[in-house]
Amino acid sequence: MAAEGMSPLEQFEIHRWVPMNIGGVDASFTNSSFFMVLVVLLSTAFLLGGMRRGTLVPGRWQSMVEVTYEFVASMLSENAGHGSRKFFPFVFSLFVFIIIANLLGMIPFAFTVTSHIIVTFTLALIVILLVTILGFIRNGVGFLRLFVPKDVPFYIVPLLIVIEILSYLTRPISLSVRLFANMMAGHTMLKLFGGFVVSLGLLGIAPWLFIVALSTLEVGIAMLQAYVFTILTCIYLNDAFHPGH
């Protein structure tokens, strides 16, 4: 428990702001819904605002947008290979949404949507379904070569196929849990230590410096997790384009 008697996990609670029930389904507009809409609006404002003028000599805002664009484009081309360029809008949108959601959650009293497993699992499930459908569309049954390791003795192929299939089916779990767990653990730790620092009063100056350093580290983790989620998406897309390689 934090020093003020509030649980550090309280920041992750979902609150219904506009209760709605559609056909027996709870479709209430919540604090999580609001911050997801806010992330989309901020992402749109960041991209449109940065490219509003589109000058030959870019300013700081335009440079940030262009650097983000080039960063994701190079990540996609290096890890997904030939034919992946048409999926750049999807990968780019995914990266921008996750990194802005992560960074927005660093603002005091903001809600971190990526700290909820249902959000990260939905994103991961969309990625895996896209890769699976795309793999069969492009390669037909040849996509199943993904589950047959190359250059292995034939007598252990059946065992390895089972292992590869299980590994593939657990991709959405590992992809979503990695992002969710890092964001939830980091914010919980910040809340916990922050409560102790407040309770110390003037004696908390030195620990406060530690909180600043910890917050800086958490910002780095927020950006790193967006990168990891996106680069794994690119690698999975490569499996759809080049199964068995």
Helix and strand element counts for the chain (H, E):
7, 4
Give the C-alpha separation, 130 to 135, whole Å. Answer: 8
The residues spanned by each domain of the chain are 69-241
Beta strands in the chain (DSSP E): 16-18, 21-22, 25-26, 29-30
pLDDT confidence of residue 27:
85
Give the C-alpha separation, 119 to 130, whole Å. Answer: 17
pLDDT confidence of residue 134:
93
For residue 8, pLDDT beyond 80 = no
Give the C-alpha separation, 157 to 188, whole Å. Answer: 44
Average pLDDT, the chain: 87
DSSP string, 80-93: H-TT-GGGHHHHHH
For residue 141, pLDDT beyond 60 = yes
pLDDT confidence of residue 199:
66
Select from 56, 12, 6 the least CA-distant residue to 194. Answer: 6
Share of the chain above pLDDT 70, in %: 90
Q: What's the rounded mean pLDDT across residues 55-82?
A: 87
* Torsion angle in degrees (nearest 10) through CA of 113, 125, 234, 96: -20
Q: Which of 71-85, 147-161, 188-202 has the highest mean pLDDT?
A: 71-85
How many Cβ atoms from other residues are within 10 Å of residue 106's Cβ?
18
Residue 244: pLDDT band by 50, 70, 90 thresholds? low
For residue 204, pLDDT beyond 60 = no
Mean pLDDT lowest for which of 30-34, 186-190, 237-241? 186-190
For residue 205, pLDDT beyond 80 = no
Q: What's the rounded mean pLDDT across residues 146-156?
A: 82
Cβ atoms 239, 135 nearer than 8 A: yes
Give the C-alpha separation, 111 to 99, whole Å. Answer: 14
pLDDT confidence of residue 2:
39
